[in-house]
Structure 1
C-alpha cells in the first residue's frame, strides 16, 4: 500500500510493505519514482535507498526473522534542504545505538560479524535517531540535498 500527498507544504511518500526481503525492491522503486517526480537530486535518492535497503533488511532478517506476518511502514517527507525518512515496524525491539561501532581498523578476518550496516547508515545520514513507541520500533534519519 502506498500513498502520496499533493497538498501544499512538504511532499510526502508513505508506503507499507509486508516484512519480507522480496518486498523491499518494490518499495525502493516506488520511492525512486516519487522522488523523480519531485525533482529530488538523484544523489540524495541513491543515498536514501542504500540506507533504507540496509535498515529494512535488518528489520526483516533480525527483527521479524521467520515471522513473515509483520509489516514495515516507511514515510519520507521533503524538508527545507533535504528529506526525512521514518521507518516503523512491530518487530522485536532493537536500538541501533545499543551496538558498539565496529573497529574498522581491523582486517576483515579480525572483525566481529555484523554492525557494519548500521555503522554505514550512521555515517551516511545527516541525523539518525531511534525510539520505541509501545510495541513499535521507529527509526528516523535525514539526508540533505547536495550543495
Structure 2
C-alpha cells in the first residue's frame, strides 16, 4: 500500500528546511510524484517557510510550522499551518517582472514564484493560525487513484 500523505512539524529555524526536503522526497517516492512536481513543491515550500521563519516568527525559535501533504487522485494538497503573526502572502501586490531590475520594488518576487509554480493557492486565518493551502495538479496522464 502506498503512503497517502505525511505530516511534518518544523521549528522556526531555517536549518529545519532540510527536514522538509527529506519528507518531500519520501512522499515523492511513495506517491510516485514526477520530478518536476517535486522540484516545484520544494521551491515553493522553501520560499514560504523561509518567509514564515524570517518574518512571521522573526527572532523566535520556539515557533512551529505544521506541514501536511496528501495525495488526492489527481492532485497533491499541502497545508502549512503556523501561529506566527497574521499574514496573507497572496494579498501582496503581484511582483513587477517587466520593468528594468533597478526600477523594481524590493520584495514580492518569491511569492510571484509560488503563484507561478503552484496550480492553486489560498490563505485563511483560522483560530489564530495562518493556514496556507497549496494544490499541485498531476499531469492528466499521471493522475491515478492512490490506494486507500
> Given that residues 44 and 146 in structure 1 are in contact (C-alpha distance below 8 angstroms), is that contact kept between their aligned partners in structure 2?
no
Describe the SS at the equivalent of 2:102: coil
| Structure 1: runs of 5+ lacking an equivalent | 1-5
> Given that residues 74 and 138 in structure 2 are in contact (C-alpha distance below 8 angstroms), is that contact kept between their aligned partners in structure 1?
yes
Give the match for residue 103 of structure 1.
96
> Given that residues 31 and 71 in structure 2 are in contact (C-alpha distance below 8 angstroms), is that contact kept between their aligned partners in structure 1?
no
Matched, 1:18 2:11: yes
Distance in 1, matches of 2:90 and 2:8, equals 25
Q: Which of 65, 72, 87 pairs up with 1:72?
A: 65
Give the match for residue 126 of structure 2.
133
Aligned length: 140
Give the match for residue 61 of structure 1.
54
Describe the SS at the equivalent of 1:31: helix
1:82 offset after TM fit, Å? Answer: 2.1
> Given that residues 41 and 146 in structure 1 are in contact (C-alpha distance below 8 angstroms), is that contact kept between their aligned partners in structure 2?
no
Distance in 2, matches of 1:119 and 1:106, equals 15
Task: Select the structure with the greater relative contact order (CA < 8 A; seq sep ≥ 6).
Answer: 2
TM alignment of 1:31-70, pairs within 5 A: 31-70=24-63
1:110 offset after TM fit, Å? Answer: 0.9
Across the aligned residues of Structure 1 and Structure 2, the Cα RMSD in angstroms comes to 1.5
> Given that residues 65 and 82 in structure 2 are in contact (C-alpha distance below 8 angstroms), is that contact kept between their aligned partners in structure 1?
yes
1:35 offset after TM fit, Å? Answer: 1.6
1:24 offset after TM fit, Å? Answer: 0.6
> Given that residues 43 and 146 in structure 1 are in contact (C-alpha distance below 8 angstroms), is that contact kept between their aligned partners in structure 2?
no
1:37 offset after TM fit, Å? Answer: 2.3
Distance in 2, matches of 1:30 and 1:75, equals 10
TM-score, structure 2 normalization: 0.89
TM-score, structure 1 normalization: 0.89
